[in-house]
Chain A
Amino acid sequence: MDEKDGEETTYEVPIGPIHPALKEPFLIKFKLDGEEIVDADPHPGMNHRGIEFMGMHRNPVKVIPLSERICGICSIVHQHMYTTAVEHAVDIVPTNRARYIRTIMMELERIHSHVLWAGVAAHEIGFDTHLHFTWKIREKVMDLLEKISGNRVNYSMWTFGGVRRDITEDMHPDIDETLDYYLDLYDKLEDIFLGDPSIRHRTKNIGILTEEDAMKLCGVGPTVRASGVKKDVRIDQPYAAYGDLDIDYVIPSRYDYEDVGDVFSKTLVRLKEVVQSINIIRQCVEKMPEGEITSEPNMAALLNKLKSAEGEGVGRIEAPRGEAMHYVRLVEDNEDVDCWKVRASTYNNLATYAPMFLGEQIADIPIIAASIDPCIGCMDRAEIVDVNTGEKEEYTDEELHELSVQKTERMLGGIDE
Chain B
Amino acid sequence: MNLEVLIEGWFFKVVLTVLVSFIGVFLGLLYKGFDRKITAMMQSRIGPPWIQPFRDVKKLFMKETIIPDTAIPWLFNAAPIVALVAPLIALAYLPLGPFGPIMEGYGGLILLLYLLAIPAVAMAFGGLASGSPYATVGSQRELVLMMSYELPLAITAVALAFNYETFSIATISSEPVWNSVGMMGGIGFALILAALFAVMPGELSKVPFDQAEAETELAGGLFVEYSGRNLGIFYIAEVVKMVVVGAFLIALFFPYNLSSLYSFGGPEINGMMLWNVIVDTAFFLFKLLIIIYVAVSVIRVGFARFQINKASYFYWVPMTIISLLGMLLVVVGGAA
Contacts and interface: CB of A to CB of B under 8 A. Distances in A.
Q: Is there direct touching of A and B in the complex, by C-beta distance under 8 Å?
A: yes
Contacts of B302: 129
A216 interface: no
Nearest to A206: B307
Given A202-B307, A363-B307, A366-B217, 8 more contacts: A35-B308, A35-B309, A126-B215, A126-B216, A126-B304, A198-B303, A363-B217, A365-B217
Contact of A125 (B137, B218, B304, B309): B304
Interface in A98-139: 122-129, 132-133, 136
A13 B134 contact: yes
B286 to A, nearest CB: 25
A365 B305 CA distance: 13
A127 B208 CA distance: 9
Chain A interface, >50% SS class: helix
A201 B211 contact: no
26 contacts: A11-B133, A20-B219, A122-B304, A124-B216, A126-B207, A126-B208, A126-B215, A126-B216, A127-B304, A128-B301, A132-B43, A132-B44, A132-B45, A198-B306, A201-B306, A201-B307, A202-B305, A202-B306, A361-B307, A361-B309, A362-B218, A363-B305, A363-B307, A363-B308, A366-B216, A366-B217
Contacts of A202: 304-307
Contacts of A19: 219
Interface string B26-46: 000000000000000011110
Contact of B216 (A123, A133, A361): A123
A366 B208 CA distance: 16
Contacts of A196: 304
A199 interface: yes
**Range class of the A interface residue count:** 20 to 34
Q: Which 6 A-B pairs have the closest CB atoms?
A: A126-B305, A127-B304, A132-B43, A198-B304, A363-B307, A125-B304
A267 to B, nearest CB: 13
Contacts of B303: 127, 198
A196 B305 CA distance: 13
Contacts of B307: 201-202, 361, 363-364
Interface in A1-59: 11-14, 19-21, 32, 35
B325 to A, nearest CB: 22
B214 interface: yes
Given A127-B303, A198-B208, A21 B308 contact: no
Interface in A145-200: 196, 198-199
B118 to A, nearest CB: 25
B217 A201 contact: no
A346 B219 CA distance: 24
A133 B218 CA distance: 24
Interface in A361-399: 361-366
Contact of B215 (A11, A20, A365): A20
Contacts, number: 78
A156 B207 CA distance: 42
A129 B301 contact: yes
Contacts of B43: 128-129, 132-133
Interface string A194-214: 001011011000000000000
Nearest to B301: A129
Contacts of A366: 216-217
Contacts of A126: 207-208, 210, 214-216, 304-305
B136 to A, nearest CB: 8
Given A11-B133, A126-B207, A199 B304 contact: yes
B216 A12 contact: no
A132 B40 CA distance: 9
B242 to A, nearest CB: 19
Contacts of A127: 207, 303-305
A361 to B, nearest CB: 6
Contacts of A12: 133
Contacts of B210: 126
Contacts of B306: 198, 201-202
Contacts of B218: 362
Interface string B42-68: 111100000000000000000000000
A11 B135 CA distance: 13
